[in-house]
Amino acid sequence: MSDSSGEERPAPDLAEALKDLGASGRAGLSAAGDAAKALRILIAADISLARSALGRTLALTGVAIAFGASAWLLLMATLIVALSRGLGWPWPLSLLLTAVLSVAITLYAGWRAMRYFEHTRLKATRRQFARLGLGELADLMPDADSPDSTAQAAERVAAATADAPIKKGLGVDVTPP
């Protein structure tokens, strides 16, 4: 056996090889522990930053809602005055038109919000976890080595359980994928 300088060294005996192997194992375990500690510190710092950002976001969202609502009220008051004085409409008709406009925008925004809220269910992630055998849907999805589509399996489960939802552990409904 030769080292980096090209000189021949005798092969280590079994005891020395086991000692080197143990030292390498301890070094690897120590490095894994250091990496886990660094990851824990990173996650804690990231969660702390997110918590701080959430508070500020909520405060600024409140300010935006207050000023947006007051601007909307002023805009509707201006429209009412313009309709009643500029076009000669009666006050009740002007008020009705602005109310209908406000309700229509509210309904549209609510409908869009509900559509976006569907993305919070993490459907694709839950299907993939189920495919790996994890989570409440594991028994209902194909295995990871199966060529079957999890999306199609989820559609079949949803159609089959439309009348009576699936229950987990303590009788709580399982949210469909």
- Location of structure tokens 């207050």: 66
Does residue 9 lie within any of the structural domains? no
Does residue 84 lie within any of the structural domains? yes
Does residue 104 lie within any of the structural domains? yes
What pLDDT score does 91 carry?
Answer: 92
Cβ atoms of residues 166 and 173 within 8 Å: yes
84-142 pLDDT per residue, tens: 999 999 999 999 999 999 999 999 999 998 888 877 777 777 777 777 777 777 777 77
**Same-domain status, 112 and 25:** yes
Q: Which of 135, 148, 146 is nearest to 175 (CA)?
A: 135
Mean pLDDT of 7-32: 83
What pLDDT score does 169 carry?
Answer: 59
Q: Which domain holds residue 132?
A: 123-159
Q: Which residues pair with 172 in a beta bridge?
A: 168
**Same-domain status, 148 and 128:** yes
**Same-domain status, 148 and 117:** no
**Same-domain status, 55 and 129:** no
What pLDDT score does 165 carry?
Answer: 67
**What residues contact residue 166 under an 8 Å CB cut-off, 6+ apart?**
140, 157, 173, 174, 176
**Same-domain status, 101 and 139:** no
What pLDDT score does 8 carry?
Answer: 74
Does residue 10 lie within any of the structural domains? no
Does residue 38 lie within any of the structural domains? yes
- Location of structure tokens 């609510």: 110
- Spatial separation of the C-alpha atoms in residues 15 and 131, rounded to whole Å: 47
50-97 pLDDT per residue, tens: 888 888 888 999 999 999 999 999 999 999 999 999 999 999 999 999
What pLDDT score does 47 carry?
Answer: 84
**Same-domain status, 111 and 136:** no
**Same-domain status, 48 and 62:** yes
Does residue 168 lie within any of the structural domains? no
**Same-domain status, 100 and 152:** no
**Same-domain status, 91 and 128:** no
**Same-domain status, 92 and 144:** no
**Same-domain status, 139 and 68:** no
Number of domains in the chain: 2
Which tops the pLDDT comparison, 2 or 51?
51
Does residue 170 lie within any of the structural domains? no
